[in-house]
Amino acid sequence: MLVYLVVSVLSTLWITMAQNQLGGPEEKDKTSTALKELYSSQGWYLHNLLSRIDLEELMKKDEPPLKFPQTLDEFEYSFNEKGQLRHIKTGEPYVFNYHEDLHRWNQKRYEALGEIITHCVYELLENECHLKKVHLPVDATEDEPKSFIFMSEDAITNPDKLMVLIHGSGVVRVGQWARRLIINEDLDSGTQIPFIKRAMDEGYGVIVLNTNENYVEVEKSKKQEQPPPNDTDEPAEKKEKKDDCQKETNKRRDFYEKYRNPQKEKETKHIPIRDNSTPEEHTIYVWDHFISRSSAKNVVFVAHSYGGLVFVELHCRNWVSSSEPLDTPVEFMLPDCPRVSAGTERHELTSWKSFNSIFNYFTQALEVQNAEAKSKSTVTTRSSYRKKSEEL
């Protein structure tokens, strides 16, 4: 790639100089001849340069194997008493550039650590928050692809109030707000655990959605390569020359592919999870099978980023990234729910920075509703809310 860029720059410079010196027809002919010789010499120059490159030495710069530790201990990292990820020996934060100039390998290592972090969060949801894992679909067979959510023991039976937590899009899974915050900041800002603990302390039942768990990934079966058709009408000499040319092309392509992507990864396919193949489908499924069947008089939602779009038509308050102080009203062109500042310009931090304001908002809203309510209310269904929304 570097050679190509250098050659391109040289070509541009020479062409610009030639164009600036154009005169009459004779000069134009000379220029045309010069350009032809230049392009011809470029091919020689590139070939000569490549022939001098020690390909074996070049290949030594290939990335290490894409094999990474399977546990946090093997990575030599752990969470300290403040919930910060630190190296066990040095006490330093996570280092992304483990190998300099190998961004793809470093990214794969980061993703491998992220998968371990995801399972660590699952364990914290069960052991610290005392939530139970519920598999979806509820009637799934043993061999069928499954998703899951986490719920408190009283999520369905709590007669007073229920809190539903929804993360955003991307690699995050149930219990997380942002993987980057978990790795680079701490568990409090990056996970939903503080929300879950406080909600349970304040008497809420809790349901934690898992909107990005939409499929299972399996390796594709290898297909046998079919030999190219044999054209018997083609002259033997022409066919032999054509085959040699194709072999040389394949050789160059294979070398380029190995240098660009030295470790060809396995080809996989996605098998969708029934009734949960998209974030929206998952949320509707959880609503129909759990939320709408709960005994709670009041149901509140805390949704981060894309998770809010699932319930965009519901009455709500939206804490948005802004340089304004926390809870300052923020104007917006679209007439959706009221927007206030989260007190930060970092999108991934909006939920954590608004932590206290969110719970205060719920408390005030429920106090007003309970004061006005004269009889036991029922949980609003999606169909009835849609009808009410259309009437408004």
Q: What pLDDT digit, counting tens, does each position of 102-111 carry?
A: 888 899 999 9
Q: What pLDDT digit, counting tens, does each position of 332-350 carry?
A: 766 567 788 999 999 889 8
Among residues 147, 152, 294, 305, which one is catalytic? 305
Query: Please, are residues 214 and 136 in contact by the beta-carbon 8 Å criterion?
Result: no
Helix (H, G, I), strand (E, B) or coil at 161: strand
Average confidence score pLDDT of the chain: 78
Q: What pLDDT digit, counting tens, does each position of 130-163 carry?
A: 999 999 999 999 999 999 999 999 999 999 999 9
Helix (H, G, I), strand (E, B) or coil at 367: helix
Helix (H, G, I), strand (E, B) or coil at 208: strand
292 noted as active-site residue? no
Give the single-character DSSP code of 190: H
Selected residue with higher pLDDT from 230 and 286: 286
Q: What is the pLDDT of residue 370?
A: 75
Q: Which two tokens stand for residue 387?
A: 């009808």
Q: What pLDDT digit, counting tens, does each position of 42-66 carry?
A: 555 545 555 555 544 444 456 788 8
Helix (H, G, I), strand (E, B) or coil at 328: coil
Alpha helices by DSSP H, listed for 176-227, are 179-184, 187-190, 193-201
Q: Which two tokens stand for residue 220?
A: 């594709």
Q: How confident is the model at residue 312 (pLDDT cuts 50, 70, 90)?
A: low
Selected residue with higher pLDDT from 234 and 84: 84
Work out the number of other CB atoms within 10 angstroms of the CB of residue 350.
Answer: 22
Selected residue with higher pLDDT from 173 and 310: 173
Q: How confident is the model at residue 23 (pLDDT cuts 50, 70, 90)?
A: very low
Please give the distance of CA 174 from its chain centroid, rounded to a whole number: 14
Print burial letters for 61-84: b (CB count within 10 Å at least 16), e (below 16).
Answer: eebeeeebeeebeebebebeeebb
Q: How far apart are CA 284 and CA 67, in angstroms?
A: 38
Q: What is the pLDDT of residue 74?
A: 96
Distances (CA, A) of 375 to 142, 155, 296: 44, 22, 14
Peptide bond into 137 cis (omega under 30): yes
Q: What is the pLDDT of residue 222?
A: 61
**What values do phi and psi take at 174, rounded to 5?**
-50, 130
Q: How confident is the model at residue 386 (pLDDT cuts 50, 70, 90)?
A: very low
The model's pTM? 0.65
Query: Please, are residues 158 and 293 in contact by the beta-carbon 8 Å criterion?
Result: no
Q: How far apart are CA 47 and CA 14, in angstroms?
A: 20
